A and B are shown apart, each in its own frame.
Chain A
Amino acid sequence: DVVMTQTPVSLSVSLGGQTSISCRSSQSLVHSDGNTYLYWYLQKPGQSPQLLIYKVSNRFSGVPDRFSGSGSGTDFTLKISRVEPEDLGVYYCYQGTHYPNTFGAGTKLELK
Chain B
Amino acid sequence: QVQLKESGPGLVQPSQTLSLTCTVSGFSLTSYNVHWVRQPPGKGLEWMGRMRYNGDTSYNSALKSRLSISRDTSKNQVFLKMNSLQTDDTGTYYCTRVGYWGQGTLVTVSS
A and B pair up:
yes
Tell me the A residues contacting B by CB distance below 8 Å: 1, 39, 41, 43, 48-51, 54, 60-61, 90, 92, 94, 96, 99-106
Known: A49-B101, A54-B99. 7 other contacts (CB 8 A): A39-B98, A48-B94, A48-B101, A49-B94, A49-B96, A94-B45, A104-B44
- Chain A proximity of B98: nearest CB distance (Å): 7
Q: Is the CB of B98 within 8 A of A48?
A: no
The size class of the interface chain B forms with chain A is: 20 to 34
Question: In the complex, which residue of chain B has the Cβ closest to the Cβ of A50?
Answer: B101
- Residue-wise interface mask of B (26-66) relative to A, using a CB-CB cutoff of 8 A (1 in contact, 0 not): 00000000010100000011110110000000111100000
- Could you tell me the dominant secondary structure of chain B's interface residues? strand
Whole-angstrom distance from the CB of B18 to the nearest CB of chain A? 19
Interchain CB contact under 8 A, B44 and A105: yes
Residue in A48, A103, A106 whose beta carbon sits within 8 Å of that of B47 in the complex: A103
Q: Which of B54-108 contact A (CB under 8 A)?
A: 58-61, 94, 96, 98-104
Can you give 12 A-B contacts (C-beta < 8 A)? Answer: A51-B100, A54-B98, A54-B99, A92-B44, A94-B45, A94-B47, A99-B58, A100-B59, A101-B35, A102-B47, A103-B37, A106-B44
Given the known interface contacts A48-B103, A100-B60, the answer about A92 and B45 at a Cβ–Cβ threshold of 8 Å is: yes
Nearest-neighbour CB distance to chain A for B39, whole angstroms, equals 8
Known: A92-B44, A101-B35, A106-B44. A51 touches B99 (CB 8 A): yes
Q: Using Cβ atoms and an 8 Å threshold, which residues of chain B touch A61?
A: 99
Q: How far is the CB of A81 from chain B (nearest CB, A)?
A: 23
Is there an interface contact between B99 and A103, defined as CB atoms closer than 8 Å? no
A46 to chain B minimum Cβ distance, whole angstroms, is 10
